[in-house]
Structure 1
Amino acid sequence: MRALVLTGPGKAEVQEVEPPVAAPGQVVVDVERAGVCGTDMELFTGEMSYLHTGRSWYPLRPGHEWCGRVTDVGEGVDAGWLGRRVTGDTMLGCGHCERCRAGRHHVCAELSEIGISLGRSGALAERLAVPATALHALPDSMDLTLGALVEPGGNALRAVHGAGLRPGERLLILGTGTIGLLAALFARSQGIEVHLLGRDLDGLRLARSLGFTGTWTRPSLPELRWDAVIDASNAPELPALALDLVEPAGRVVYIGLAGTPSTLDTRALLLKDVTAVGILGGSAGLAGTIAAYADGSVDARPLVAATVGLAETADILAGRRPADAGPGPKIHIDPRR
């Protein structure tokens, strides 16, 4: 089968590789759509921290935002999965430690991540092997674009839950990338008043087209009460800004990752009685994301700018957008093309 392989920093190619086999407890999925994430781009450039700590290494087959149909099941797997459209959890725990048993498998000490760490092959390929325990069924009525947006949606939904707001309360989101916009869509669907802070007016244009009127740059940001702030950016200075802006006794949610360390003054955290929440992975938000997409309360499709074939993925990883791409931050890959 064909698969995208990262062979070194800045090097990616489509190779013919052996197709996966469904081992006991696993299924094989024919991948119908996969998303390119900032993590994939950092793995491509060599900037991803895992490459420096030994959790990831080259050659590497990326891709962790995906949907497809189950075409084979291994020993011990319910045959009812055959033919079903599915997506899956990226975060794979050992399944038997205390954290996994408590539902916190995303922080398992033996965690591996599909398409990211410990040699787990990813979904930028024609087929993918996945533990059946990681599967989430998708309604046949859900299109491929939404199916491949479940994983980032799970992250964004967890961030909104972490903000702990009630309908009518005010949320400020720092960043207008995929996660920031998804968080805005989920928060709005829950009756929360949503505002977004972007780098420039061009970056806020898509947010306005989605119906968000509270779109600001730093100079134009009004002095309002921000009941919670979500930092969905990759700017190292914005975590401190989130803490500075949030209402005393409010909540700050950190889901963005900067390429360099960020500095927070914990005295401000304490003296403002602020709750800080870190979000790693979308595991606990996947089911809720599927439900919101299925009932139409959240439509994330405008976030996808273009869908291209597997051979064009290296260009996307290098930051080159298709000439006919729309304004959305997300590019999807159809491995069958």
Structure 2
Amino acid sequence: MRAFVVTGPRESGVQEVPAPVAGPGQAVVDVERVGVCGTDGEFFTGEMAYLHQGFAQYPMRLGHEWCGTVSAVGDGVDPGWIGRRVTGDTMLGCGRCRRCRAGRQHVCAERFEIGIRGGFAGALAEQLAVPVPALHQLPESVDALAGAMVEPGGNALRAVRGADVRAGDRVLILGPGTIGLLVALFAQSLGAEVHLMGRTQRSLEFARTLGFAGVWDGEALPDLPWDAVVDASNAPGLPARALELVEPGRRVVYIGLAGRPSTIDTRDLALKDVTAVGILSASPGLAGTIEQYAAGTVDPRPLVAATVGLDQAGAVLAGWRPATAGDGPKIHIDPRLRSPQRA
């Protein structure tokens, strides 16, 4: 089968590789859509910390935001899975440790991460092998565009839950990228008054098309009481500003990661009686995300600017966007395509 392989920093290409075979407890999925995210970009450039910590190494097959259809199953798997449309968890715990037994496999010290950690092949390929317990079935009302947005949506839903957002709360999201916009959509669906703060004119203009209460650059941000602040940016200075902006006794959520260390003053955290929440993965939010997408309370599809073929994956990771792309932040890959196509 064809797969996109990163062989070194900014070195990549589509290769013919052996097609996966479903082992015991596994399913093979024919991949329909894959989202490209900032983590994939860091692996492409060689900046991702896992490369330097020994958790990942080249060559790598990326892709952890995906959907597709089960085409084969291994021993011990109900054959009824064949033909089901699915997406799946990225985090694959060992299943034996204390964390896994408590349902926290996404922080298992020995975990694999599909397309990210431990050499587990990702979804930027025509097929993907996945443990069946990691699969989530997609209802017919969740199409391929939305299906490949379940993983980032799970992260965003967890951020909203971590912020303890309620109807009538005023919520500020720092960073109007894919995750920040999804956080905003989930918070808005709860009846919150949602504001976003960003830097680039393009991202701010797109965010304004989604109907939020306010979209601001840093200098124009109004002096309002913020019941929750979610940092979904990669700016090292914004975690401290999030703590500065949030109302005493409320919550800040950190889901964005900067390229260098960010610092906060824990005296501010304690003296304001603020709860700080960190979000690593989508795992506990996947089922809830599928439910909301299926019900139509959150629609992630406007965030997808274009869908292109596997041959364009390297260019996308290098920053290319098709001339016909929309204004959204997300680019999808369809491994079945051989040329660029509008989403």
TM range (shorter): over 0.9
- Give the equivalent residue in structure 1 for 2:169: 169
SS in 2 for 1:224: coil
SS in 2 for 1:291: helix
Question: Partner letter of residue 7 of structure 2?
Answer: T
In 1, the alpha carbon distance for the partners of 2:177 and 2:80 equals 37
TM-superposed deviation, 1:199: 0.7
Say whether 1:23 aligns with 2:23.
Answer: yes
Q: Which moved more, 1:142-151 or 1:203-212?
A: 203-212
Q: Deviations over 1:167-200 (max 9, x none)?
A: 1011100000000000000000011111100114
TM-superposed deviation, 1:40: 0.4
- Give the equivalent residue in structure 1 for 2:153: 153
Say whether 1:267 aligns with 2:267.
Answer: yes
Question: Partner letter of residue 55 of structure 2?
Answer: R
Q: Deviations over 1:285-304 (max 9, x none)?
A: 00010011101001110100
In 2, the alpha carbon distance for the partners of 1:114 and 1:129 equals 10
TM-superposed deviation, 1:98: 1.4
In 2, the alpha carbon distance for the partners of 1:124 and 1:203 equals 26
TM-superposed deviation, 1:22: 0.2
In 1, the alpha carbon distance for the partners of 2:111 and 2:334 equals 28
- Give the equivalent residue in structure 2 for 1:196: 196
In 2, the alpha carbon distance for the partners of 1:5 and 1:314 equals 9
Instruction: Say if 2:60 and 2:115, in contact at 8 Å, map to a contact too.
Output: yes
Q: Deviations over 1:128-175 (max 9, x none)?
A: 000000000001232100000000000000000000121101110000
SS in 2 for 1:30: strand
In 1, the alpha carbon distance for the partners of 2:81 and 2:144 equals 18
Instruction: Say if 2:198 and 2:218, in contact at 8 Å, map to a contact too.
Output: yes
User: What is the TM-score with the length of structure 2 in the denominator?
Assistant: 0.97
TM-superposed deviation, 1:229: 0.3
Structure 1 254/171 Cα, relative in aligned 2: closer, same or farther at 3 Å?
A: same
Instruction: Say if 2:165 and 2:190, in contact at 8 Å, map to a contact too.
Output: no
- Give the equivalent residue in structure 2 for 1:56: 56
- Give the equivalent residue in structure 2 for 1:42: 42
Q: Deviations over 1:39-95 (max 9, x none)?
A: 000000000000000101000000000000000000011111100000000000011
Unpaired runs of 5+ residues, structure 1, are: none
Length, aligned pairs only: 337
TM-superposed deviation, 1:241: 0.5
SS in 2 for 1:286: helix
- Give the equivalent residue in structure 2 for 1:295: 295
- Give the equivalent residue in structure 2 for 1:254: 254
SS in 2 for 1:116: coil
Say whether 1:11 aligns with 2:16.
Answer: no
Instruction: Say if 2:4 and 2:125, in contact at 8 Å, map to a contact too.
Output: yes
Q: Provide runs of 4+ in structure 1 moved above 4 Å.
A: none
User: What is the TM-score with the length of structure 1 in the denominator?
Assistant: 0.99
Question: Partner letter of residue 264 of structure 1?
Answer: I
TM-superposed deviation, 1:324: 1.1
TM-superposed deviation, 1:111: 1.1
Fraction of identical pairs, as percent:
70
1:1-337 matched pairs, under 5 angstroms: 1-337=1-337
Q: Which moved more, 1:84-93 or 1:266-275?
A: 266-275
SS in 1 for 2:320: coil
TM-superposed deviation, 1:202: 2.8
In 2, the alpha carbon distance for the partners of 1:290 and 1:250 equals 28
Q: Deviations over 1:222-255 (max 9, x none)?
A: 1111011000000000001101100111100000
Unpaired runs of 5+ residues, structure 2, are: 338-343
Q: Deviations over 1:99-119 (max 9, x none)?
A: 111111100111110000100
In 2, the alpha carbon distance for the partners of 1:199 and 1:272 equals 27
SS in 2 for 1:77: coil
In 2, the alpha carbon distance for the partners of 1:109 and 1:76 equals 27
User: How large is the Cα RMSD of the aligned pairs?
Assistant: 0.7
TM-superposed deviation, 1:263: 1.1
Instruction: Say if 2:163 and 2:253, in contact at 8 Å, map to a contact too.
Output: yes
TM-superposed deviation, 1:204: 1.1
SS in 2 for 1:221: coil
SS in 1 for 2:51: helix
